[in-house]
Amino acid sequence: MKDCQAMPSLQRKAAGMPPLRELFDTHPARGTIFRASGAGITLDYSKQRVDAEVLQALAQLAEQSGFEAERARLLAGEAVNKTENRAAWHTALRVPADQQTAAQSCVEEQLQRMEALVGKVQAGVWRGFSGKRITDVVNLGVGGSDLGPLMVTHGLREHAEPAGRALNVHFASTIDGSQLFDLLDRLNPETTLFIISSKSFTTIDTLSNADTVRSWLASHCNDETLLLRCHFIGVSAAQDKMTAWGLPAENQLYFWEWVGGRFSLWSTIGLPIALALGASVFRQLLAGAHAMDEHFRTAPLLQNVPVMLALLGVWNVNFLDIRAHAILPYDGRLKYFPSYLEQLEMESNGKSVNQAGEPLDYATCPVLWGEIGANAQHAFYQLLHQGTQAVASDFILAACRYEATAHIAYHEQLLAQHQLNIANCLAQSRVLAFGDAAVAADDTPWRRYPGNQPSSTLLLERLDPRSLGALIAAYEHKVFTQAVIWGINPFDQWGVELGKQVALQLQPLLNNSGAASAAKLDTSTRALALSIQQQQASEQDNGGKA
Amino acid sequence: MKVRVLGSNLEAWTLAGALAFTGCRVSLEAAQLPEEGSDVSEPDLLQLLEQQRDAGRLQLDDSEEAGDLLLVACRHASLESLQMAVQGFVENVSANVGAQPLIALVQSMAIGTTDQLQQWLDEQGAGHIRVIFWPAFIQSGRALESVTRPERILLGCEDERAVQLMRRLLTPFNRSRDTLLVMSPKEAELSKLAINGMLATRVSYMNELAQLAADKGIDIERVRQGMGTDSRIGFQYLYPGCGFGGEAFLETLSQLSRELAHPNEAGLLSSVFAINEQQKDLLFQKFWRYFKADIRGRKVAIWGCAFKPNTSGIEGSPALTLIRALLAHEVEVHVYDPMALSSLRRQLGGLDKLVFAPSAEAAVAQADALMLVTEWKEFWNRDMDDIRLRMRTPLLLDGRNIHDPGHMAELGWVYSGIGRGVSI
C-alpha cells in the first residue's frame, strides 16, 4: 500500500479534510450522490469524511494495489490463500447449478445430498434410536461452523417454511459445555439429532461437546452403532476423520479445503439453516449472495458496494486514524450479525505481516464490534457521541417490515414500532455526523456533541433470504478487497493456533496436582493453576463430606 | 314429506334411505346408487337404497323440485359455501305458501353456524324457512342401524313448530322410548363435538396407560377390565390400540380443536391428538426397534387398512401412516384388507414396493413382521401356527390386541400388542 502513487495525495487530503458539517455545507447534494447500490442493497456513504477527490484517489489506491487481478484470481478459484496454498472459493458455493463448471459440480452434488437429508428429517422419515421422529436438532460447531448458521437461522426465522418451523434447531459451541448442559437437561434423547460441524474434524471445542453428547445418548441406549447412525450427522472436509469417529458414510456431508471456515455457511455447514428454514430458503440465500458476487465482479469500483465498504474502511483506518468500527443493525433479527462480522473481519484481516511475511508499518483491521443499534443506544452510544475515541459505524436498516402480518391484531402497533426504529437509526447517524449542529446548540459542556463521527448506512428494501445473502457476501468481498490493499492474506488464521497448543500443554498439568508447581511456567500462570487446584480440591472435600 | 338431500356421503345415503323407507319422497343429487366397494357401501344400506329407488320413493336426479325439508349432509368449510348450497331450495320453496319448510344441518360445523344461517335467511326475507341442527350420529359399519335405532336424537331448534314437524318425521325411529332431546342450536352443536372429543380422550388416555403398562410389564387388558367394571367409567371406548381414524370422527375432532384453540396453551385435546399420532406410528417404531433400525429391504405384512372393521373407509387410518413410513425406508409392504383395498389403491396406488395382497395368507409370505391394524372378525381365529410358518421372522405386532399373548408365544411368535405381550 505504502508504495502506491495515490498515497501522498490521500495523506494530504486527510490532513486537510474538513468536518462533516462543512462538507455538507459546501456540497449540500452529497446525500443524493454519495451512494452505491447492487444486489438489492443501497450503500449511503455521504456521512463519511470523503469528497470526490478522495474517492478517486482511493479507487486509484485499489487499482495500484493490483485489486482487479486479485479479484479475478479469487473468483477463478486460484490459490489466493498463499500461506496454505489453496483457493478461497466461497463464490463457487453460490454459483447456480446450471452455471457451474465441471470443477464446481461437486457443490451441487453435496447440496442435493444435504437437501435429501433435510427432507428426511423434516418429513419425519429420519428416526431416532427408538424409532421416533426427530423434533430437535443441535448444531455442534464453533467459529465459522457456528456463527454463520446461527446468525442466518436467527435472522430469517420469519421466512421459515412450515416444515422447518416444526423443528427446533439449537446451537452449542462453547468448550466449557455450558450450552449443552442446559440443552441436554431438557431435550429428549430419542428425538434429538446432533450435527457435528468442523472443517478439520479435530476442533477440540466441537469434538469435546460431541463426546459429551455421545455419553449422554449412551446413558439412554446401549447400542452404539444405532446411536451413531440415528443421532449424528457430520459436516466436514475431512472424510477420514468423520469415519474414524464412527459416522457412517450416509451421515456425512462434505465440503472442501478451498472453503474457509468463516466463509463456509454457504456450504453443507449451512445444514442447520436448511433444517430450520427450509432448503428453498437456503437456495434463496445462495442466490442473493451470487447476485452480490456478480455485482462485485462487474460494477465499477466507485459504484461497487463491497469495494466502497473496503475503501472507506481503509480511508478511516489508514488516513483518518480511526481504529474502531461499530456494526449497528437496526433490526432485532440481525442480533448475531455483529458477532458474525467480528470473526469475518478480525480473523481475516487482523494481520501484521504482508503476503511476503514482512512486517507492516501501517494499520490493518480496526477493532470491530457491534450490537442491535437501538439496544446499543442504551449501552455504548455514549462513547460514540461524547467519548474520546474516533469510531466509524455501519448502520444497517430494512425499509419494509411486517408486511406478511397485516392480519394480526397488533399489526398497526408493530408498524409504528418499525417507523420509530427507522427514526432512531436516522437520528443517530445524523447526530454522530453533525453533533449538536443537528439541533439548537446548548452551551452546557456536558451537553455538547462534537459530531464528525463518520458512518455508512446500508439500506435493504426488506430483510429476506436474498438480501441477507447479498449483505453477507458484500462484507466478505469488503474483507478481501481491504486485504488486497493492505497486502495481507485474509484467508489464514495462524494467530489462533498457538493458544490451542499451549492449552493442550496446560491441560495435563491441571489434572495432576504437583505437576503445575513442577512445570516450567511463568509465575502468573503457575500461581493461578495452583489456586484453581486448591479450590477444586477443597470443593471435592466438601462434596465428600456432604 | 318431500325431502331433498344434499351430499353423496355415507350420512346422505343413509338418511335418504331411512326416510324413504318411512314413506317420504326423497330426492338426492346423484347419477346412480353407490357402487359395491365404494366408501359408503354397507350391504344392508345398499339393499335398502335399491328397494326405495325401485319403489319410486328415492329419486336420483338434479332437479330443484320444491321440497318441505332440505337435509344438508355434505360438509361446508364456510358459511358462504353453505349459503350457496341452500340457495336453490330457498328459491323454490318461497313460492310454496303456507308450508313450514325446514333446513336441517346434519354435519358438525363451527358453533353458531345454524343461527347464522337462520339470520341470513331472515335477512333475505325467507324467515319462514327454519334452520335446525340435527346431528347425524352415523357410525360406519352400522350406518343404517345408527339412524333407525338411535341411542338419542338431538335437535338444535328453538322453533316449536319446527320441533313438532321433526318429531313427527322421526316417530318411526323413536318408538320404544322417547329419545328426542331438544335444545338450542348452539347447545346441540357443542354437544355433538363434545361427544366425539370425549371418546377420543378416553382412547388416548388408554393409549397413554398402555405405554406405561408396556414399560412396567403389565398387561393393559387386565387393567382395562379393572377400569371398565367401575360403573362411572364403563367399558365403552377403553380399548388401547394403534390409533383411531375415520373421516367424520377426525373432522369433528378438528372442528372441536379449532373451537378450543388457545394459541399459546396446549389444551387437553392437543395431547389427545398427539398421543393418537404417536399410536399410529407405534407399530413402525416397534418394527424399527426390533430390527435395530436395520429395516431397509425387509418385508412387512399389514392386515387391515380400513380405519375400523366393516367399512371401506381409510381416512385417517393408522395403516396410511405405517405404509408411508415403511415405504420411506424402502420396506416392501403387502397389505390385505377384506373391503378397503380399493380405497387404498385409489389413495396410494402405483407406489413402488406397495403390494395389494389377495389374501391374508398371501400378504404374510416371507414377511419380517405382521402388523395387525384393523380388527376384522376374519382375523380373530386364523390358524396363526400356519401363518407363522409362512413368515420369515415370526414378529406379530398386534395393533388391536385381538390375540392372547401367552398363546401366541406358545405358537412361537414374538408377540407385541399395545400395552401387552413382549415389550419392544
In chain B, which residue's Cα lies nearest the Cα of A132? Answer: B285
Give B357-362's long-range contacts (Cβ < 8 A, gap of 24+): B357/B301, B360/B303, B360/B336, B360/B387, B361/B386, B361/B387, B361/B390, B362/B334, B362/B336
Q: Is B205 part of the contact surface with chain A (CB cutoff 8 Å)?
A: no
Full 3-state SS string of A43-81: EECCCCCCCHHHHHHHHHHHHHCCHHHHHHHHHCCCCCE
Higher-pLDDT residue of B288 and A539 is B288
| pLDDT tens-digit map of A180-229 | 999 999 999 999 999 999 999 999 999 999 999 999 999 999 999 999 99
The distance of A302 to chain B (nearest Cα, Å) reads 51
Across the A/B interface, how many CB contacts are shorter than 8 Å?
A: 31
Q: Is B296 part of the contact surface with chain A (CB cutoff 8 Å)?
A: no
In B, which residues are within 8 Å of A231 by CB distance? none
Annotated binding-site ranges of B for substrate? 192, 237-241, 245, 308
CB-based contact A131 B286, cutoff 8 Å: yes
In chain A, which residue's Cα lies nearest the Cα of B280? Answer: A132
| CA–CA separation, A107 and A290 (whole Å) | 14
CB-based contact A223 B329, cutoff 8 Å: no
Q: Is B328 part of the contact surface with chain A (CB cutoff 8 Å)?
A: yes
CB-based contact A223 B292, cutoff 8 Å: yes
Q: Is B289 part of the contact surface with chain A (CB cutoff 8 Å)?
A: yes
The CATH number for A6-64+299-490, chosen from 3.60.40.10, 3.40.50.10490, 3.20.20.70, 3.30.1330.10, is 3.40.50.10490
Q: Which of A67-81, A376-390, B27-41, B145-159 has the weakest average pLDDT?
A: B27-41
Is the CB of residue A312 less than 8 Å from the CB of residue A301? Answer: no
In A, which residues are within 8 Å of B281 by CB distance? 131-133
Which residue, A291, A238, A266, is CA-closest to A89?
A266
Q: Is B423 part of the contact surface with chain A (CB cutoff 8 Å)?
A: no
In A, which residues are within 8 Å of B278 by CB distance? 132
CB-based contact B284 A229, cutoff 8 Å: no
Q: Is B222 part of the contact surface with chain A (CB cutoff 8 Å)?
A: no
CB atoms within 10 A of CB A173: 21
**Res B334: pLDDT:** 98
In chain B, which residue's Cα lies nearest the Cα of A121? Answer: B328
Q: CB neighbours of B325 closer than 8 A, spacing ≥ 6?
A: A124, A125, B281, B284
**Res B1: pLDDT:** 85
**Res A447: pLDDT:** 85
Is the CB of residue B20 less than 8 Å from the CB of residue B56? Answer: no
Sign of CA dihedral A61, A65, A66, A67: negative
Residue A546: pLDDT over 50: no
In chain B, which residue's Cα lies nearest the Cα of A222? Answer: B292
In chain A, which residue's Cα lies nearest the Cα of B424? Answer: A130
Interface mutation target, options A117, A121, A126, A127, chain B, most CBs of B under 10 Å: A127
| pLDDT tens-digit map of A105-139 | 999 999 999 999 999 999 999 999 999 999 999 99
CB-based contact A127 B287, cutoff 8 Å: no
In chain A, which residue's Cα lies nearest the Cα of B323? Answer: A125
User: For domain B194-416, is the CATH number 3.40.50.720?
Assistant: yes
The distance of B324 to chain A (nearest Cα, Å) reads 9
Annotated binding-site ranges of B? 192, 237-241, 245, 308
| CA–CA separation, B286 and B299 (whole Å) | 14
Residues of A with catalytic function: 347, 378, 500
| CA–CA separation, B322 and B333 (whole Å) | 9
DSSP A134: P
In chain B, which residue's Cα lies nearest the Cα of A224? Answer: B292
Q: In what helix (H) or strand (E) does residue A93 lie, and over which residues does it extend? A: none
> A6-64+299-490 and A90-283 share one CATH topology?
yes
Q: Is B325 part of the contact surface with chain A (CB cutoff 8 Å)?
A: yes
Question: DSSP characters for B277-340?
Answer: HHHHHHHHHHHHHHTTT--TT-EEEEE--SSSTT----TT-HHHHHHHHHHHTT-EEEEE-TTT
The b/e string for B269-288 (b: 16+ C-beta within 10 A; e otherwise) is beebbebbbbbbbbbbbbbb
> B2-183 and B194-416 share one CATH topology?
yes
Of A131, A133, A229, the CB nearest to B289: A131
CB-based contact A132 B289, cutoff 8 Å: no
The distance of A356 to chain B (nearest Cα, Å) reads 55
Can you give the residue ranges of every domain in chain A? 6-64+299-490, 90-283, 497-545
Of B278, B286, B288, the CB nearest to A127: B288
Superfamily for the B2-183 domain = NAD(P)-binding Rossmann-like Domain (3.40.50.720)
In A, which residues are within 8 Å of B284 by CB distance? 131
CB-based contact A226 B292, cutoff 8 Å: yes
Residue A470: pLDDT over 90: yes
Of A130, A223, A226, the CB nearest to B285: A130
Strands (E), B73-193: 102-105, 130-133, 153-156, 180-183
CB-based contact A130 B329, cutoff 8 Å: no
CB-based contact B325 A125, cutoff 8 Å: yes
CB-based contact B293 A226, cutoff 8 Å: yes
CB-based contact A127 B292, cutoff 8 Å: no
DSSP-derived pairing of the beta strands A41-44 and A35-38: antiparallel
- The list of chain B residues with pLDDT below 70 reads 62-64, 94-98, 263
CB-based contact A131 B285, cutoff 8 Å: yes
CB-based contact B285 A230, cutoff 8 Å: no
The distance of B355 to chain A (nearest Cα, Å) reads 21
ipTM over 0.90: no
In B, which residues are within 8 Å of A230 by CB distance? 293
CB-based contact B328 A223, cutoff 8 Å: no
Q: CB neighbours of B244 closer than 8 A, spacing ≥ 6?
A: B200, B203, B276, B307, B316
The distance of A314 to chain B (nearest Cα, Å) reads 51
Residue A96: pLDDT over 60: yes
Q: Is B287 part of the contact surface with chain A (CB cutoff 8 Å)?
A: yes
Superfamily for the A90-283 domain = Glucose-6-phosphate isomerase like protein; domain 1 (3.40.50.10490)
CB atoms within 10 A of CB B268: 12
Q: How many residues does chain B have?
A: 424
DSSP-derived pairing of the beta strands B25-28 and B58-60: parallel
The distance of B288 to chain A (nearest Cα, Å) reads 6
| CA–CA separation, B237 and B185 (whole Å) | 27
Can you give the residue ranges of every domain in chain B? 2-183, 194-416
CB-based contact A125 B292, cutoff 8 Å: no
The distance of B400 to chain A (nearest Cα, Å) reads 20
In chain B, which residue's Cα lies nearest the Cα of A231? Answer: B293
In B, which residues are within 8 Å of A133 by CB distance? 281
Q: Is B284 part of the contact surface with chain A (CB cutoff 8 Å)?
A: yes
In A, which residues are within 8 Å of B288 by CB distance? 127, 130-131
In A, which residues are within 8 Å of B371 by CB distance? none
